[in-house]
Amino acid sequence: MERREVVFVDGVRTAFGRAGPQGIFWKTRGDDMAVKVVRELIRRNPAIPVERIGDVIFAATAQVGDQGLTLGRDVALLSGIPQSVPGFAVDRMCAGALTAVTAGAGEIAYGACDVVLAGGVEHMGHHPMAEEVDFNPRFVAERLVDTSAVTMGATAENLHDRFPQITKQDADAYAVRSQQRAAEAWQNGVMRATVVPMTVFTGDGWKSAERDEFLRPDTSMEGLANLRTPFRPGGRVTAGNSAGLTDGATAAFLAAEETARELGLAPKMRLVAFAFAGVEPELMGIGPIPATKRVLGQTGLGLDDIGLFELNEPFAVQVLTWCDGMGVDPGDERLNPYGGAIACGHPLAATGVRLMAQLAYGFQERPHVRYGLTALCVGMGMGAALLWENLGAGH
């Protein structure tokens, strides 16, 4: 049997909220956030009969509490998808939604499914990072990993140590650019096309969660210069050049290319190849470098063939190390044209589909671009990279 081609049909997300009691989603369940994006995805794509969905795959890093009941099945049932449609949960931390997509793509490629619904959710307010994790003492006792590996901000400081040419000023300048580009994206359409407003209950009554809570369009170098460095005295990583702790959910439809034709869908992009890679856990931010090289090696494409990059921004220094390792100028117009996680937030397992939805919109705006990349680093020392082909005309 020949492998079937897999296409990305559509992807949506909630607004991304500030984690904690002051955040818009504090009184909202994590699984209900996932249900919202699933229902909206189904509403937006009426040509896909829900009974044709072959699997529902949802990722979360904290698979406990309101994110703990085999999320894919849980969310499918709560969303009104027929009971005949199965579901499951995955965890690859920050690459959760990316892994949900690649797992679903494998099912489609092998003919097990025609359509897959994949996404991720992370309520970091309800489930702070590592709060309910019991780390094996062998990690430290046998020096399997450096103790800094479990604190993401500490790994970002380690990157500054390893790449001393990347200064705090460089990181702050990148953060300012991310905020400016995200502000433009909210004005110009990409966010309206991908963000699903959600009515939520708060301490002040019912409100609409419709805008990312970390947006600071007036961010300046002067404002960032004197922020405290919580991970190290005199360090270089601050709240201003990092993604905040975030609540959010994402969901996407994938389909076999032949099924998309049968149903009359207009898919936005085709999955060309994907790769995951492992690196030193205490330097997890360099993970996208070997993953990107691996996926390019699979396809024979070069970096110059890629017209758009959607790279996650947990820390500015992490993006800058990828730029250094891949030979890309941080100001390159191909890189995160709509801003990134420094401006919108990074709800761990949900982020991957945000990157895809923004890439798909970028393809639509740039029909001359043929290939794009979605990539991110992953806690405990990993990287992920997915290569996509623009299905729009003109390239």
What is the sign, positive or negative, of the torsion defined by CA atoms of 227, 232, 235, 238?
negative
Q: Is 344 an annotated catalytic residue?
A: no
What is residue 132's predicted lDDT score, i.e. its pLDDT? 83
- According to DSSP, residue 3 is labeled P
Q: Which of 160, 368, 377, 395 is catalytic?
A: 377
Q: Which of 113, 346, 368, 395 is catalytic?
A: 346
Mean pLDDT of 209-221: 96
Q: Is 377 an annotated catalytic residue?
A: yes
Print the domain residue range for 307: 138-189+271-389
Mean pLDDT of 322-347: 97
Is residue 277 a contact partner of residue 291, using CB atoms and an 8 Å limit? yes
> Would residue 306 count as lying in a domain?
yes
Token output for 90: 């995955």
What is residue 79's predicted lDDT score, i.e. its pLDDT? 98
Question: Average pLDDT of the chain?
Answer: 96
Helix ranges (DSSP H) in the chain: 30-44, 71-78, 96-109, 138-141, 152-162, 168-188, 190-194, 221-225, 257-263, 288-299, 316-326, 341-344, 351-365
Q: What is the pTM of this model?
A: 0.97
pLDDT in tens, 158-207: 999 999 999 999 999 999 999 999 999 999 888 999 999 999 999 999 99
Is residue 393 scored above 70 in pLDDT?
Answer: no
Is residue 1 scored above 80 in pLDDT?
Answer: no
> Would residue 103 count as lying in a domain?
no
> Would residue 23 count as lying in a domain?
no
Give the domain CATH number at 379.
3.40.47.10
Is residue 395 scored above 80 in pLDDT?
Answer: no
What is residue 188's predicted lDDT score, i.e. its pLDDT? 87
Q: Is 395 an annotated catalytic residue?
A: no
pLDDT in tens, 55-66: 999 999 999 999
> Would residue 300 count as lying in a domain?
yes
> Would residue 289 count as lying in a domain?
yes
Q: How many domains does the chain have?
A: 1
Number of Cβ within a 10 Å radius of residue 394: 9
Is residue 74 scored above 90 in pLDDT?
Answer: yes
Q: Which of 94, 113, 323, 344 is catalytic?
A: 94
Is residue 150 scored above 90 in pLDDT?
Answer: no
> Would residue 372 count as lying in a domain?
yes
> Would residue 27 count as lying in a domain?
no
Q: Write b or e for each residue in 204-224: b if 16 or more Cβ atoms lie within 10 A of its Cβ, otherwise e.
A: eeeeebeebbbbbeebeeeeb
pLDDT in tens, 132-142: 889 899 988 89
